[in-house]
Every structure is written in C-alpha cells, then in structure tokens.
Amino acid sequence: MAIKTKSSLIPSCASPEDLKRVLQTLGSSWGDVVEDLERLEVVPLKGAMTNEVYQISWPTLDGEDVHRKVLVRIYGDGVDLFFNRDDEIKTFECMSHHGYGPKLLGRFSDGRLEEFIHARTLSAGDLRKAETSDFIAAKLREFHKLDMPGPKNILLWQRLRNWLKEAKNLSSPIEIDEFRLEALEGEINLLEERLTRDDQEIGFCHNDLQYGNVMIDEETNAITIIDYEYSSFNPVAYDIANHFCEMAANYHSDTPHILDYTLYPGEEERRRFISTYLGSTGNATSEEEVERLMSDAENYTLANHLFWGLWGIISGHVNKIEFDYMEYARQRFEQYWLRKPLLFKDVE
C-alpha cells in the first residue's frame, strides 16, 4: 500500500497507518502537528539497493517556511536473508550512542525513522579527491577501532557460506551453471585458508563503504559513515578492499549496475589511502606495515567479489528495487575469476 503525500508517494510501505502513528508521535514530541499526510513533502533518495530511502519534511507551527526533516527507511524485500534486523538495530543504536551517524527516531513494522543529517552525501567522483579520501581513511581507522558489544568473531566466511546456500536454493539449474555456484564452496574454503593469519588485525568493519554511505560536512570537513546493515567484525584489510572495489561503481548513473574496473585505484592511490589510514592514529608507521596491508587488501578483493556476487544473485530473486542485480553479480564473479590467477599465481 502506498502513502500519498503532497509531492510524491511512499510506494512500498506495507503499514501506512503504523508509519503515520510514528510520524505523529515524533512530531508531537517536537511540538509539531502531523495530522494530514498530504502536507508531507517526500523526496526519494537514489542509490539505495537494499532498502528504499526517503527524505520527509513538513512545516512546523513556526510557519510554512520552517520545516522538519527526517529520513524514512523502508526495508527491502528479503533483507532477512542478508542480516538480522534486530542485530542491525542494536548496532545502529550503539553507533548513535557513541556519537556516530544519525539517531534512531522511531520504528514501524517494515521500516524506521532516522535523524536527517545536514551534510552532503558523497558522489562517486568524491572518492578520487585526495583530500576527501584522506578524511575517509582517517574516519575508517576510527570506525575499525570502535569497541562494539558482542563477540569479536570474524563473520565473513560464515556469511559467504550462508549466502552461497541461499543463492543455490533460489537459483535455477541454468543460473547455478552460469554463476558456477557448485564451485564456490571450494573457492570460499581456499580463500579462508590463504587469507587467514594469526597476526591480521580484526576490527569492527562497515563492509559496505561505498560513496553513498559517506557524508561530509562541507564547513568542517567532518566525515560521517552511515548505514551499518552489513557491519560486523572482520579483517580490516577486507573492509579496505571493499572500499577500493566500490570505486568502480556509480550508482547514480543511467546504468547504476554497470561497474568500470578501469577506475579501480592504482598502486599509488591505494598506498596513499593505506598510509593515511595507518598514520591517522599518530603512531609511527613503517613501510613494511603499509606494504603488508596493501597486499592483504588486494587479496581480500577476491572475497569481496564473491560477497557482492552472491548478494546480487539473492537480491535479484527477492528484491523489487529497480536495479539489475543479476548483471551486477555477473560482473563481480567475472572479476573474481579474472583476478584470482593474478593474485594467487601458485593456484591452478
């Protein structure tokens, strides 16, 4: 059922009365009156591929020119296959408590309301600006050091195996052959064996640090990392690898599913990011540390291609957001099979 408003629709909300009740309660707590949904102004925010996200504003009692703004997130179909929503909410609330990201303002059955952050969401091109990249590197280091509650176990390998099982259950025999899904269990085992080391740093990782999940205050240059749905403890090299891989994407283009790997950062750009990342804590950083993390991040790009390739297959079967998930998956798997022999030269 859709919610009709002054300027747009919220088409995917299954519980409009529930959302209306939450908006009215929130508005009342601020001294506003939200009775007539027709007065709401809604702006769809593009680039989200797991949920649908909207900016909602309404005039306050101070006058039509003064508006409240909140962000409404409508959960995408099938997201429970990717992560536990209750765990994600706990992470969101914990991050807010630590002063990171937006505040949770309210929940309804198939979504939630979040604080609207008055900062600019980055564009794809922003990631390539040296100064902005430095800010992101330092913020990511800070993020990885967060002392989050719960076990500090690596989730990557378990998640890959769970997603492979789901992808195989959802896929047709033709798709299983096309994506070589029967071979992937062995590939995951190989990656876990080759990439696991006792001395690798484990941190609280975002796991989805694409440009749309980074905001910047243009007055202070303060960086805010948002959307923690896929966050978990993982090797920090994996999170950096994910960020590098995301530089091939532009989710606001006419073909948001198309990836351009000629845009993958070169060695100099990767070295600068990792040097800034390691040096942001103020401790002396050796060239050996930089080289090791660069190598680890390159190797973890393989796991990242499998991660988002499986995500694409599952999403293509369960998510109704307008995005060519299957073609996206094809490109990620293509990169995996292309890059593996270059990175693991001793493996046939």
User: How confident is the model at residue 348, as a pLDDT?
Assistant: 64
Quote the pTM value: 0.86
Residue 49 has pLDDT above 70, yes or no: no
Number of domains in the chain: 2
Residue 19 has pLDDT above 80, yes or no: no
For a pLDDT cut of 90, what percent of the chain falls above it?
Answer: 60
Here the CATH number for the domain that contains residue 64 is 3.30.200
User: How confident is the model at residue 94, as a pLDDT?
Assistant: 87
User: How confident is the model at residue 21, as a pLDDT?
Assistant: 66
pLDDT tens digits for 273-329?
A: 999 999 998 888 999 999 999 999 999 999 999 999 999 999 999 988 889 999 999
At 64, the pLDDT band (50, 70, 90 cuts) reads low
* 298 and 191, same domain (yes or no): yes
* 261 and 317, same domain (yes or no): yes
- AA letter at 202: I
Q: What is the DSSP letter of 323?
A: S
* 213 and 65, same domain (yes or no): no
* 216 and 241, same domain (yes or no): yes
* 308 and 275, same domain (yes or no): yes
- Looking at 100, 115, 130, which one is the last position of a domain? 115
In what helix (H) or strand (E) does residue 189 lie, and over which residues does it extend? helix 181-195
**Which residues make Cβ contacts (< 8 Å) with residue 175, sequence separation at least 6?**
181, 313
pLDDT tens digits for 69-114?
A: 888 888 877 777 787 778 888 888 888 877 788 888 888 777 888 8
* 246 and 316, same domain (yes or no): yes
- AA letter at 179: F
Comparing 51-65, 115-129, 211-225, 297-311, which segment has the lowest mean pLDDT? 51-65
Q: What is the DSSP letter of 80?
A: G
Here the CATH number for the domain that contains residue 147 is 3.90.1200.10
pLDDT tens digits for 207-216?
A: 999 999 999 9
Residue whose tokens read 């939200």? 34
- Looking at 94, 115, 136, which one is the last position of a domain? 115
* 52 and 144, same domain (yes or no): no
308, part of any domain: yes
Residue 8 has pLDDT above 50, yes or no: no
186, part of any domain: yes
Q: How far apart are CA 297 and CA 242, in angstroms?
A: 8
Q: Report in angstroms the alpha-carbon separations of 170 from 21, 81, 161, 318.
A: 36, 11, 14, 9
pLDDT mean over 257-272: 98
At 1, the pLDDT band (50, 70, 90 cuts) reads very low
40, part of any domain: yes
* 104 and 161, same domain (yes or no): no
Q: SS3 helix, strand, coil % of the chain, rounded to 5? A: 50, 15, 35
User: How confident is the model at residue 7, as a pLDDT?
Assistant: 39
Structure-token pair, residue 219: 């007055």
- Looking at 61, 87, 115, which one is the last position of a domain? 115
* 238 and 147, same domain (yes or no): yes
Structure-token pair, residue 236: 């920090």
> What is 32-45 written as a DSSP string?
-----GGG-EEEEE
4, part of any domain: no
Q: Which residue has the higher pLDDT, 171 or 116?
A: 171
User: How confident is the model at residue 71, as a pLDDT?
Assistant: 83
Residue 15 has pLDDT above 60, yes or no: no
* 165 and 208, same domain (yes or no): yes
**Which residues make Cβ contacts (< 8 Å) with residue 226, sequence separation at least 6?**
101, 102, 117, 213, 214, 215
9, part of any domain: no
Q: Which residue has the higher pLDDT, 11 or 73?
A: 73
User: How confident is the model at residue 140, as a pLDDT?
Assistant: 98
Q: How far apart are CA 92 and CA 302, in angstroms?
A: 28
**Angle of CA points 271, 145, 148, to nearest 5°:** 145
At 26, the pLDDT band (50, 70, 90 cuts) reads low
* 56 and 128, same domain (yes or no): no
Query: 114 in the Ramachandran plot: left (φ > 0), alpha (ψ -120 to 50) or beta?
Result: beta
Estimate to the nearest angstrom the gap between the alpha carbon of 249 and the chain centroid.
13
205, part of any domain: yes
Q: How far apart are CA 179 and CA 333, in angstroms?
A: 7
* 214 and 165, same domain (yes or no): yes
Residue 46 has pLDDT above 80, yes or no: no
1, part of any domain: no
Structure-token pair, residue 124: 């794809």
Q: Report in angstroms the alpha-carbon separations of 342 from 54, 183, 281, 299.
A: 42, 19, 33, 10
7, part of any domain: no
pLDDT mean over 148-152: 85
Q: Whole-number mean pLDDT of the chain?
A: 87
Is residue 336 within 8 A of residue 306, CB to CB? The reply is yes
pLDDT mean over 177-192: 98
User: How confident is the model at residue 28, as a pLDDT?
Assistant: 60
- Residue 81 belongs to domain spanning: 16-115
